[in-house]
């Protein structure tokens, strides 16, 4: 199990390195979203493997990577996964809202906009709730690791 966990942690480390190489202009764009989706998949795998590990063995495996501070608690992969899901949902609804406002405004647009805006607000609200529960230090690590240093996610946890 430790070998599998190590492989997943290395994959995560590599994806995070790829995120660091993105330009600031790539925030929320297709490349950023793709990397976050890939990270979500790896986090799910880590979460599945970590369920069979003790806290000590998980911490030992994580300590050999650059994720020691961010993933010291074996619940963190699941929390990161959930937060990334909210970010992706927020971006997706944002894109759809902008698209409707730009060129798809028809008779049903108001209804679609209302539904999308509720979904948009809900994603950000749920993100804030989980982020506040994480605490300031863990939240700041998450934002930094996921390339989310942007006003959309800037507030005190």
Tens of pLDDT, residues 72-81: 888 999 999 9
Non-local CB neighbours of 14 within 8 Å, separated by 6+ positions: none
pLDDT for position 81: 95
N-to-C CA span, the chain: 34
**Roughly what angle, to the nearest 10 degrees, separates helices 2-20 and 55-63?**
40
Q: Token pair of 30, please?
A: 């297709």
33 touches 74 (CB < 8 A): no
- Count of domains in the chain? 1
Per-block mean pLDDT, blocks of 10 residues, the chain (157 long): 82 92 90 96 94 88 81 90 96 91 78 90 93 90 90 73
pLDDT for position 65: 79
149 touches 77 (CB < 8 A): no
pLDDT for position 24: 84
Closest CA relative to residue 10, chosen from 57, 75, 62, 76: 62
Question: What are the Cα distances from residue 110, in Å, to 64, 94, 105, 116, 119?
Answer: 52, 15, 8, 10, 14
Structural domain that includes position 18: 2-153
């Amino acid at each position: 199990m430790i070998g599998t966990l190590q492989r997943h942690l290395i994959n995560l480390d590599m994806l995070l390195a790829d995120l660091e190489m993105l330009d600031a202009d790539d925030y929320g764009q297709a490349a950023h979203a793709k990397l976050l989706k890939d990270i979500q998949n790896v986090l799910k795998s880590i979460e599945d493997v970590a369920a069979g590990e003790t806290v000590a063995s998980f911490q030992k495996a994580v300590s050999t990577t650059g994720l020691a501070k961010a993933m010291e608690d074996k619940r963190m992969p699941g929390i990161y996964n959930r937060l990334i899901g909210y970010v992706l949902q927020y971006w997706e609804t944002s894109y759809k809202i902008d698209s409707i406002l730009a060129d798809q405004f028809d008779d049903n647009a108001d209804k679609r906009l209302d539904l999308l805006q509720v979904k948009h607000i809900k994603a950000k609200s749920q993100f804030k709730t989980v982020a506040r529960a994480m605490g300031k230090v863990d939240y700041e690590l998450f934002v930094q690791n996921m390339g989310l240093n942007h006003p959309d996610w800037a507030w005190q946890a």
